[in-house]
Structure 1
């Protein structure tokens, strides 16, 4: 995503010890979308009323980095700024989206 010109913070690079709630708080403070492969974030948002500007859940094998990149760029192209305020699930063939 950085290579495509997107401003990306990768938690593992600078704060790997943050809890999920702390990661969400950071995303909220900085007005960032949260991109994850961890379904627990959806639980925090929908069942525990945690907030985040936007949540993207990747349901693609992380070993298939090329497909992950392609699908992410397609999602950004399709939704653009509309990713904010939404929960978007990205899999190999479709996007599912709902308001947060």
Structure 2
């Protein structure tokens, strides 16, 4: 089961760029779309950190998964933990998720 499907099984409303949108959508457009729709962006692409942290692009929350080569079940577990952490925050953070830690990147 893919991560998007795992989130859906856990009751989350999910949109997938790969599944729901045309190929070739830029990172800037993806971030803007997620922000417009008040969606948390889940990504393996560190370029979103550049957009959010360095360029101060608005966002509704970003979860950057830096998990390396781990089984899908472990990725899903860390993602669900990250969503719980995100819900406890006062403002939408840029989260960096590794196998051993979840941290908010400075903005």
Provide the TM-score with structure 2 as the length reference: 0.82
| Corresponding residue of 2:14 | 8
- Please state if 1:68 is matched with 2:75: yes
Q: CA contact under 8 A between 1:76 and 1:83: conserved in structure 2?
A: no
Deviation at 1:17, TM superposition (A): 2.1
Unmatched tracts of structure 2, length 5 or more: 1-6
Aligned CA distance change for structure 1 residues 83 and 67 (closer, same or farther; 3 Å): farther
Deviation at 1:75, TM superposition (A): 1.9
Unmatched tracts of structure 1, length 5 or more: none
Provide the TM-score with structure 1 as the length reference: 0.87
